[in-house]
Chain A
Amino acid sequence: MTDTILEVKDMKKYFNSPKGKVHAVDGVSFSIERGSTLGIVGESGCGKSTIGKSILRLTEPSDGQVFFEGKDITEISKREMRRLRKDMQIVFQDPYSSLNPRKTVSQAIREPIVINNIIKGKDAINDRVVELMEMVGLDQRLYNTYPHELDGGRRQRICIARALAVEPKFILCDEPVSALDVSIQAQILNLMKDLQEQLGLTYIFITHDLSVVKFFSDRIIVMYLGKVVETASADDLFKNPVHPYTQALLSSIPVPDLEARKERIMLSGEISSPINPKNECRFAKRCRFVMDVCHESAPDLTEISEGHCVACHLLKTK
């Protein structure tokens, strides 16, 4: 019996642009088990961040439902949603802009506690702030420092402490390490992994970095232009990528290993934006296996083995 904490059903997010309707997210569905990590991977413009923000209703989705612990949160009022934010938190990509430059470390961490009335009493709150700082590995002497005095790694630790302050069940991590140097990135990834074990957190991990997502996730969703092209367990996806886009994506990662060099699948062309898309496979223009049928209809996500789904017309021809 699986314990699903979050379920997204047929989410759509369209934007109006001068050139037409941008289908940033177009019918995405998935669910996450409590305590696990779901990675959402894709290149810029694939809609991965929009999904994240729509789940938390930081932008309102155009269509579709989001069930958090069985409750459809796209239906509830803004006030009710504010109360729910205690359970659902987010860590942003850029620790340089996601902290108010005028608030000290302790003020930043205190804010969510006070707003949500988690703890009352000044001393109790201060103790909690110190405890949280310890939890994320921030030295106590940084209590009264300002974000601009700290490096990216420490700032990201502040952001994580802020997210943890409200004792959430679920944290959405939107490229949390891509602005950091590699040596710092590893520290933050380890920290987040430890916290997940200690606190039983559920993560959605949005990233463009495939090696990070492999390290971090249980399941992975690969997105291309607002659509899911493949989803599988992390191991399965890396060992047996089926969709031509996933294959190309995996082969494009520069591997810091001289022996492990492999044949590279070079994609032609570049990602376009999904403005008024036709009913066709959105990857067709860059696909090396493109067939006539790819331009005639969009492929559905089909299960090819347990937990491994692919949206590609090639499956039918095999």
Chain B
Amino acid sequence: MLKAGNEMQAKTMNIKTRKTTMAGDSTSLQRSKASEVWLQFRKNKGAVVALILLILIVLVALFSDIIWDYKDDVIKQNISEKLQGPSLAHPFGTDHVGRDMVARVGYGTRYSLSIALASVVIAVIAGGILGAIAGYFGGWIENIIMRLTDIFTMIPSALMAIGIIVIIGIKTSNLVIALGITNIPVFTRITRASVMTVRNCEYIEASRAIGASELYILFVHALPNSMSQIFVQATLAVGNCIIAASSLSFIGVGVPVPTPEWGALLSMGRSYIQSAPYLTLFPGLAIFVTVMLINTVGDGLRDALDPKLKQ
């Protein structure tokens, strides 16, 4: 049966597998998993371009305090220059109190990205642990975790985030916590699903047979092999969190003023949408472009990590 399976594999999809499985005799095949993923990723030209642009945006976020002075460029009001349209001096124009929108949007990169990233980290860790326990051990503990997750999922995430913030107060750190919590169910589900697939692999049983304890197996064998799916989901979640953070800031429960988070910028530009549409256009574009880039990279990663798509 298995021999059949192997032949089938060699036949239908990939000669490459055949090459690598048989290439024990040639010494050149010392490729690590990471470089193999990169080789695979590289083939998707769109994703590579997106990755380069995304790296640029991340660089802007990392060095925004060097590029712009927070006090002078980003939050200092300069009423005399208020509401200027895009020009050479102010390519994105200026806002209603005369602050340069390039600096505001540029510095906002740091806020938007770090809020999203931090929320996703919280969600991955909490959801990952819950999901791993549910998926690996099963039984009553799985039932409890998953039913709770179901309940959480039933509440619209925006509503839940607003609720949490209203309770714990409007603060940037609280926004992160709220977004983190709303994203936990997604990661609980995905970790549980992938741990469950890995749990049934023979090498888990093989490890049990050599006397490994359950926790050891979970952390050394099961979780690392589920990581790629979680990782891909995490990239996509960063995009979603940027939007969610912006939405919350837009309705006024996100970051406090005058923090130049993208959603907050949008919200501020809202009142001038007729007279100065550039105030909403540029932050909106920033969100749109960044999320799109992240999703493209995420899709590329998912394909690169999926051995079934290898050719």
* Cβ distance A231 to chain B, nearest Cβ, rounded Å: 25
With A149-B24, A150-B24 as given contacts, are A93 and B210 in contact (CB-CB < 8 Å)?
A: no
CB nearest neighbor in B for A81: B211
Give the chain B neighbours of A166 by CB distance below 8 A: 210-211
Interface string of B38-62 (1 = CB under 8 A from A): 0000000000000000000000000
Chain A residues with CB below 8 A from B23, complex form: 149
Which A-chain residue is minimally distant from B2 (CB atoms)?
Answer: A179
- Considering only CB atoms, which chain A residue lies closest to B208 in the complex? A58
CB contact list, A68-106 vs B, under 8 A: 82-83, 85-86, 89-90, 92-94, 96-102
For residue A35, CB closer than 8 A to chain B, the reply is no
Which chain B positions have C-beta within 8 A of A44?
1
Let me know if A45 is at the binding interface, CB within 8 A: no
Asked whether A151 and B22 contact (CB < 8 A) given A97-B202, A97-B203, A180-B3, the answer is: yes
For window 1-57 of B, CB contacts with A under 8 Å fall at 1-3, 6, 17, 20-24, 27, 29-33
Q: For the complex, is B212 an interface residue (Cβ under 8 Å from A)?
A: yes
Segment of A111-119, A191-199, A273-281 engaged in the interface with chain B: A111-119
Please classify how large the interface on chain B is, using the bins under 10, 10 to 19, 20 to 34, 35 or more. Answer: 20 to 34
A239 within 8 A of B: no
Instruction: Write out the residue numbers on chain B whose beta carbons fall within 8 Å of the beta carbon of A150.
Output: 21, 24
Pairwise interchain contact A102-B2, C-beta atoms closer than 8 A? no
Report yes or no: A99 in contact with B206, Cβ–Cβ below 8 A.
yes
- Contact at B21–A90, with CB atoms within 8 Å? no
Name the CB-closest residue of B to A174: B202
CA distance A102 to B307 in the complex (A): 14
A142 at the interface (CB under 8 A from B): yes
Tier of interface size on chain A: 35 or more
User: Given contacts A82-B213, A85-B211, A180-B3, are A148 and B205 in contact (CB under 8 A)?
Assistant: no
Q: Does B258 contact A (CB under 8 A)?
A: no
Complex CA gap A154/B203 in Å reads 16
Within 8 A of A (CB), among B51-76: none
Query: Considering only CB atoms, which chain B residue lies closest to A53 in the complex?
Result: B205
Q: Shortest Cβ distance from B226 into chain A, in angstroms? A: 11
Q: What is B's interface to A at a CB cutoff of 8 Å?
A: 1-3, 6, 17, 20-24, 27, 29-33, 201-203, 205-213, 216, 221, 224-225
14 further interface pairs, Cβ-Cβ under 8 Å (given A96-B6, A100-B207, A111-B207): A85-B210, A92-B206, A97-B201, A98-B202, A98-B206, A101-B33, A101-B225, A102-B224, A116-B211, A148-B20, A151-B22, A152-B21, A162-B210, A166-B211
Mark A residues whose CB is within 8 Å of B.
44, 53, 56, 58, 82-83, 85-86, 89-90, 92-94, 96-102, 111-112, 115-116, 141-142, 144-146, 148-152, 154, 159, 162-163, 165-166, 178-181
Residue pairs across A and B with Cβ atoms less than 8 A apart, 23 shown, are A44-B1, A58-B205, A89-B209, A89-B210, A90-B206, A93-B202, A96-B2, A98-B203, A99-B203, A100-B207, A101-B33, A101-B225, A111-B207, A111-B210, A112-B211, A115-B212, A116-B211, A145-B24, A146-B33, A149-B23, A151-B22, A162-B206, A162-B210
